[in-house]
Structure 1
């Protein structure tokens, strides 16, 4: 346990998706009620790992839900105010931002209370990595038109018309490495590589894994 690297998450996306698809209010239900419960479960899991002897634990925040093709398709809107400057859905990203702030606060709380100096808890900023890719795609090898559009899908403005848009009959983009989303929910290998490098070396991990991990 003491020489292993534990990655705890990301956790929360499926919980929030369940309530969002039931049209539950993000402000009245999800933010005040669901987020604290999700973060409490993550906190408990971190504490259990420490009790079992873990020394290096990575706790990721969640990816910006409002930038995923599935949700962009489900919640298409004619109101420009529903979108941020990247074309992502503003209210969903604000929900994830609140979740991530709660996770960061939880990580800091455990750090302060942990009396074992050998324990390192690392927050991984997945949304920060996503923001950089989406706002500066050309800099990182992505196509400007591939930031919000799935590579594997079944049509529509985001190539994610149905709930499960990528299957054996789906069309594929010519070059997946130029896209950030692979399908309606998941990233391409190229996008995941960018995120992983940012967590290993920084700046999307506090502290960067390779600067602290003794595993």
Structure 2
């Protein structure tokens, strides 16, 4: 069932955001996030319960079991990259947009808002529906999410005013990851790769337009992730199981063609970001290299503590990769591993908290961002233990 973020009356529920101030060390006191299941911290969960539709499998345990000890709407056993970022910036409680709308909890707004929704695409749902591809979860594309933010902002301050600009200048904008589902849904629907390749320029242009819109509103620091190496996804390894030996990377066991496709998307995205930087030299537009940050543990899983490897799902429906399209993680007939920290893959499509932690550290404490995030926020450190209580309250 399609879920839209736009139908809720927003102006009546929002009040002035607390004005954030930039730390002397260059860090931020607010996060504004857009994206899909790699960043959704509870939006789809609240939309589903409000609409009284049948909740999907990831709204139940074992999702969330490792850290939150309950299913929060995150597609993992625990925290996501956005959670680790919030911890590093002083235990920020980044509220899901839907929670803010439903509870009118004004105390959390100043620390940030998350618009990301499980299943979200960069392109509008009408684009995919016209091609016979239907999203089972949401129609909250990047454009829908951005429009929700603009309406919210208009209820807070005069657009492009100094107040609005100050708010955005002091915020870290997370623009995704977004675009992965523009490929995932068509691939699962059986669309040919030649058709998928024609989508890439449209997706990149949509992301670039959203970035430029945020800059026009006053944003000064935006993190824009690329796609993960989808050829290493347990879902696709299962779908294409039995492909010829030449289809696999002998060093990782990943599907070469799919990873090349992800690289193509990322190259085009980086070209677009370079052009945006030239137009806006006073804005920090940071490329987050999810692909190569993740390839570290796909190449050497044991080195990062993933003793059960990088390709087999912790939670799933058995088979060569413990994944079955008909038996989702959480299904009564599915199995869940004893120690998710020893696995990279959680449920076939998503990763474990341990894997997301490695990616986070590589990006925000390492060298996998361009320009390096650490040069802008040098004191960004992981404070997971201290942030436990704060995160649990914001889920």
- Using structure 1 for the length normalisation, give the TM-score: 0.92
CA-based RMSD of the aligned residues comes to 1.7
Q: Which residue of 1 aligns with 2:280?
A: 114
Q: Matched residue pairs, number?
A: 210
Contact 2:302 2:309 survives alignment (8 Å): no
Equivalent of 1:175 in 322, 339, 343: 339
Deviation at 1:213, TM superposition (A): 4.2
Trace 1:1-215 onto structure 2 (pairs within 5 A).
1-26=168-193, 28-31=194-197, 33-85=198-250, 86-115=252-281, 117=282, 119-143=283-307, 145-162=308-325, 165-169=328-332, 170-213=334-377
Contact 2:315 2:346 survives alignment (8 Å): yes
Deviation at 1:78, TM superposition (A): 3.9
Q: Which has the higher helix share?
A: 1
- Report the structure number with the largest CA radius of gyration: 2
List structure 1 runs of 4+ shifted beyond 3 angstroms: none
**Is there any run of 5+ residues in structure 2 with no aligned partner, and where?**
1-167, 381-395
Deviations 1:125-159 (CA, angstroms, capped at 9, x unpaired): 1110111111111221111x420000011101111
Deviations 1:3-62 (CA, angstroms, capped at 9, x unpaired): 110111111111112222232221x2111x100010000000100110111111000000
Contact 1:69 1:160 survives alignment (8 Å): yes
Distance across 2 between alignment mates of 1:64 and 1:127: 5
Distance across 2 between alignment mates of 1:190 and 1:183: 13
Deviations 1:145-177 (CA, angstroms, capped at 9, x unpaired): 420000011101111112562115221112110
Distance across 2 between alignment mates of 1:197 and 1:14: 25
